Amino acid sequence: MGTRVWYVVVGRCLLGLLLFAGLVVANACGPGGALGGLAPARADLTENALKSARYQLPDLGEFQLRDGAFEQKYGEGASQVNKVSFQTVAIGDLNGDRAGDAAVILWHTGGGSGTFVYLVAVANQNGAPQQVATDLLGDRVKIKALAVQDGKIVVEMVTFGPRDPRCCPSQGETRSYRLEQGALKR
């Protein structure tokens, strides 16, 4: 075999070994690898899991959603009804642990004319949802968009202007929240 051919064969073998070694190291050191690479990323929370999670609202207490809804009759003859409904969700890391947490919008009505809209921060606890903070966004406000960006929750909504009747909010508002020490801070 000529010298030149020998160099090509040896070069290809070395290149193959380097590529193989690189794959082994990448697999061992990458997410979840045994050689102490970055910690494995946990699975993000899902909309289905959040629609079946336990929540707590200030005027209602703790309850369990089923398929995104909760209903409880109360009062004399069970004539009143508490209703909660899941409206929307945004998934993203809220607490810096690289897991997909969630910002959830729930609305609650207790049988009166009000429909109270809440922002709920939900932490990803090893793949299970755990409510960590809640903020009342308002009565009968309309949610236009919800996002988690750079650890912040951004809510675009329509609220009531000074002259709006209670049926018809018309004033656009964007709120930004950060989860700090178990509370939503604007």
In which band, very low, low, confident or very high, does the pLDDT at 111 lie, cut at 50, 70 and 90? confident
Q: Are residues 5 and 72 in the same domain?
A: no
Relative to beta strand 80-92, strand 54-57 is unpaired
pTM of this structure = 0.77
The C-alpha atoms of residue 116 and residue 53 are separated, in whole angstroms, by 19
List, for residues 6-41, the tens digit of each pLDDT value: 444 444 544 444 444 443 334 444 444 444 445 555
Q: Are residues 28 and 51 in the same domain?
A: no
Instruction: Dump strand ranges (E) for the chain.
Output: 54-57, 61-64, 69-74, 80-92, 101-109, 116-125, 128-139, 142-149, 152-159, 171-180, 183-185
Clarify whether residues 69 and 143 are in a common domain: yes
Domain match, 28 and 64 both? no
Same domain, 10 and 87: no
Q: Are 90 and 102 in contact (CB under 8 A)?
A: yes
Q: Does 106 lie in the same domain as 33?
A: no
Do 21 and 93 lie in a common domain?
no
Domain range enclosing 66:
47-185
List, for residues 148-157, the tens digit of each pLDDT value.
999 999 999 9
Q: Report the side by side order of strands in the sheet with 142-149.
A: 142-149, 152-159, 171-180, 183-185
Residues in the chain: 186
115: nearest Cα among 144, 142, 135, 75:
142
Total domain count, the chain = 2
Residue 93: predicted pLDDT? 96
pLDDT tens-digit profile of 52-110?
Answer: 999 999 989 999 999 999 999 988 877 789 999 999 999 999 999 999 999 999 999 99
pLDDT at 25: 38
95 and 15 within one domain = no
